[in-house]
Structure 1
């Protein structure tokens, strides 16, 4: 069967057009790299990372807010982002000894690194203290370990992580009683620890709850200063959404999607909000402009009045448009709809980690000119022997029947999709990361310098 499958229904969800990615789709570089690597790969666009970081810094400046941005390294392991942070003075948020070594090894100064995560390993805490990193302390026993290390090594810098009152079942942070005891302990150990403030992390992307809890941390900072502690900064973590698709396409998709739009009638409990009306740096602008509950001033005004520095730890939002993932078509079969098999696995698109699906349409890049032949609805499966190894369960309406040697390019995958869940299953190699930079008549490329890339 060479024509389109018999089904008439196929639900599209195109990503926003991005000029840098579009230029790669129109050239021959992606096919050359696919041939060279003999398998899937990721491409990275560091210029977009720079632009996103600059946009966040511009919002801080325009609002008169003193603040610092720390790239949350967990969002993507590539060294390219850390190299850019080192050059621009942007901070980095790490949560393991390996991440800390990578940040230091690529030139980020310890004073510009925030160390987060629960129950930190001894090696991580020791290195963080020695390198003058800012440690977000999560629990009383961890506070005691930091104090002991500081007494043996050098004074330590720390934040106390607040348990969000609205997320009382979270396993992270101090509750009210624990926080009060921690403040008194920091005062007792003032020769060895410098308590610089507080931090929190909220699930979801809502603006008002972030402003409300940030205002509570400002009040806590004033209380801590009354105890003689420094307490001049707060971290509101991440939670700045990425806007992948248009409002109209997203509304239509949510309204019309049905089980028959997916291979084997697959259903999902929920999806990432692929359209967000307030995203990235605009979300930070909205948080700073919000008036917290019980206050008469905006959050930006409260920060200025209290002399509190705002720390941010965005990950995905700094990687918006900063890369994509490329697979080569290995086979195509047609039933009532097409089933495309590619040369990698779904473990290289990590949304399935959350029992969900990365929804923006993959783009078909033919290996040779081909007649359209009309839409060809097809799902996309991986090269493993598992029924569950599906990169895209949805039947995507490709403009023509894919052929062996064609490429499928998944757009905007740099944030969390590339390496959160990769595995060399079947002894298939992990997709390498290729850094693509503008230069001359055609883009220049190199392999990323992270050991796993």
Structure 2
């Protein structure tokens, strides 16, 4: 007899349930747009923006929010962002050019692209888009282009290498903070000072430690104080990575982690395909390693997460927020995932059912792993099944969802999922809260598959419109 499977019930908005519970609507959408489809709620996106604005509005320092565009490529989010008072953080030439083509004010754009070629730098400088500079080569290229165009470049300097508990916080991005003071004094001298307007500093720390973020802010504020006589710096941008919560119940999250360890130790049936430990390893009967997924259940998210950062004190018992106020430094954020909380779902049709040599039910969906792919080990939310012929007397079944790529590893969720009945061809599976870094971040067109169609809910009528909809 199979052991029970722990549930991971996601927080799910009312607009999502309206689609999940309406098989005829889903069928109509698939007939029009094919499978899979991504559906967005722009009103939920606006709600998230307002929540951040309200949180930051409780402080006296200045603040600005930029939507991290790389988290989702649905074009309509750009206009929704700028219309609601925030900017857009672009991570490529294409993202920046798209914003400019949509007539977004360049003052509301920044470029944090990891690779900035000459074309990107030229477009940014011509349009006065702030460039977050990562290395010496970028600086030198900006100087040459700025001089050639006779246009002053607006830049921020990305820094890393902060000290925390006696050790460096290492990153492949940015200048070592220990070198930035000398860089600023020596590089931005009288000979080339006219080529640059250095507005502030930027950093992004990996992981979710509020203590590390607070300490990094203090060290950046120390640097600004040391430079303020020469450089009128105006902002610190702390990037994104603000925790959000996906799940309804902490006890389910804790139970899942416990049962996953038991499965890895072979004390129970597998919870995942090929008994993947998702970061946990069985070493001679002892669990080693850590869960290599996003922390899907979080009590400390958004407001409380930011408050913890801003309340960190320095050696003089001054908090981050007090120093930001005193120095008149603007705090900038670039949330992606948390600004997309409850904004999107991904739905796909069932193409086939089969049982493999181990007795696993495999449900093939009309999508591939790149269209629901996390940057961590798995996406740990229960999906929803919508049946054309629901059967209350059916026997529940545990399944894995597989995709359309010709790869053994194209298993959409590594976790085994329990359904109330075996789906039929044409039934639908919906994955909720996928807008942030799931539906688009790794999407490819291998096998010449078309990318999923991106839709949004019409605010005036209950209709579902593609991003290129021009009105009737």
Is the TM value for this pair above 0.5?
yes
Q: Quick check: 2:400–2:416 contact (8 Å CA) kept in 1?
A: yes
Q: How does 1:172-183 map to 2 (within 5 A)?
A: 172-183=173-184
User: Offset of 1:393 from its aligned partner?
Assistant: 2.3
Does 1:275 pair with 2:297?
Answer: yes
Matched residue, 1:159: 156
Give the number of equivalent residue pairs: 439
Q: How does 1:435-450 map to 2 (within 5 A)?
A: 435-440=456-461, 443-449=462-468
Q: Partners in 2 of 1:448 and 1:164 — Cα distance?
A: 41
Instruction: Choose from 376, 386, 394 the match for 2:397.
Output: 376
Q: Partners in 2 of 1:293 and 1:275 — Cα distance?
A: 30
TM-score, length of structure 2 as denominator length:
0.88
Instruction: Choose from 182, 185, 188 the match for 1:186.
Output: 188
Q: Quick check: 1:11–1:397 contact (8 Å CA) kept in 2?
A: no
Instruction: Choose from 254, 261, 267 the match for 1:251.
Output: 254
Which ranges in structure 1 are unaligned for 5 or more consecutive residues? 1-5
Say which is worse superposed, 391-400 or 166-175, in terms of deviation. 166-175
Matched residue, 2:429: 408
Does 1:129 pair with 2:132?
Answer: no
Q: Partners in 2 of 1:50 and 1:295 — Cα distance?
A: 39
User: Offset of 1:283 from its aligned partner?
Assistant: 2.2
Say which is worse superposed, 26-35 or 417-426, in terms of deviation. 26-35
Q: Quick check: 2:82–2:108 contact (8 Å CA) kept in 1?
A: no
- Listed one character per residue, the Cα deviations across residues 300-332 of structure 1 (whole Å, up to 9, x for unaligned) are 211001110011111111001100110101112
Matched residue, 1:242: 244
Q: Quick check: 1:78–1:449 contact (8 Å CA) kept in 2?
A: no
Task: State the 4+ residue runs in structure 1 displaced beyond 6 angstroms.
Answer: none
Secondary structure (helix, strand or coil) at the match of 2:351 reads strand
Does 1:214 pair with 2:217?
Answer: yes
Does 1:224 pair with 2:212?
Answer: no
Does 1:49 pair with 2:34?
Answer: no
Does 1:430 pair with 2:432?
Answer: no
User: Offset of 1:263 from its aligned partner?
Assistant: 2.5
User: Offset of 1:186 from its aligned partner?
Assistant: 2.0
Q: Quick check: 1:75–1:420 contact (8 Å CA) kept in 2?
A: yes
Does 1:21 pair with 2:16?
Answer: yes
Q: Quick check: 1:208–1:292 contact (8 Å CA) kept in 2?
A: no
User: Offset of 1:405 from its aligned partner?
Assistant: 1.1
Q: Quick check: 2:12–2:342 contact (8 Å CA) kept in 1?
A: no
Matched residue, 1:339: 362
Change in Cα spacing, 1:94 to 1:16, as seen in structure 2 (3 Å) is same
Matched residue, 1:292: 313
Q: Partners in 2 of 1:107 and 1:242 — Cα distance?
A: 31
Which ranges in structure 2 are unaligned for 5 or more consecutive residues? 265-269, 280-291
Q: How does 1:51-90 map to 2 (within 5 A)?
A: 51-90=47-86
User: Offset of 1:248 from its aligned partner?
Assistant: 1.7
Matched residue, 2:286: none
TM-score, length of structure 1 as denominator length:
0.92
Matched residue, 2:26: 30
User: Offset of 1:278 from its aligned partner?
Assistant: 1.5
Q: How does 1:341-356 map to 2 (within 5 A)?
A: 341-351=364-374, 353-354=375-376, 356=377
Aligned-residue Cα RMSD (Å) equals 1.9
User: Offset of 1:147 from its aligned partner?
Assistant: 2.1
Q: Partners in 1 of 2:339 and 2:425 — Cα distance?
A: 35
Say which is worse superposed, 400-409 or 23-32, in terms of deviation. 23-32
Secondary structure (helix, strand or coil) at the match of 1:47 reads helix
Q: Partners in 2 of 1:347 and 1:280 — Cα distance?
A: 28
Q: Partners in 1 of 2:177 and 2:449 — Cα distance?
A: 49
Secondary structure (helix, strand or coil) at the match of 1:99 reads helix
Matched residue, 1:3: none
Q: Partners in 2 of 1:370 and 1:119 — Cα distance?
A: 53
Secondary structure (helix, strand or coil) at the match of 1:333 reads strand
Q: Partners in 2 of 1:449 and 1:209 — Cα distance?
A: 42
User: Offset of 1:398 from its aligned partner?
Assistant: 0.8
Change in Cα spacing, 1:384 to 1:172, as seen in structure 2 (3 Å) is closer
User: Offset of 1:264 from its aligned partner?
Assistant: 2.6
Secondary structure (helix, strand or coil) at the match of 1:147 reads helix
- Listed one character per residue, the Cα deviations across residues 84-116 of structure 1 (whole Å, up to 9, x for unaligned) are 122223111112110101111223211111111
Matched residue, 1:103: 99
Q: Quick check: 1:11–1:395 contact (8 Å CA) kept in 2?
A: no
Does 1:266 pair with 2:298?
Answer: no
Q: Quick check: 1:117–1:138 contact (8 Å CA) kept in 2?
A: no
Q: Partners in 2 of 1:118 and 1:180 — Cα distance?
A: 23
Secondary structure (helix, strand or coil) at the match of 1:183 reads helix
Matched residue, 2:288: none
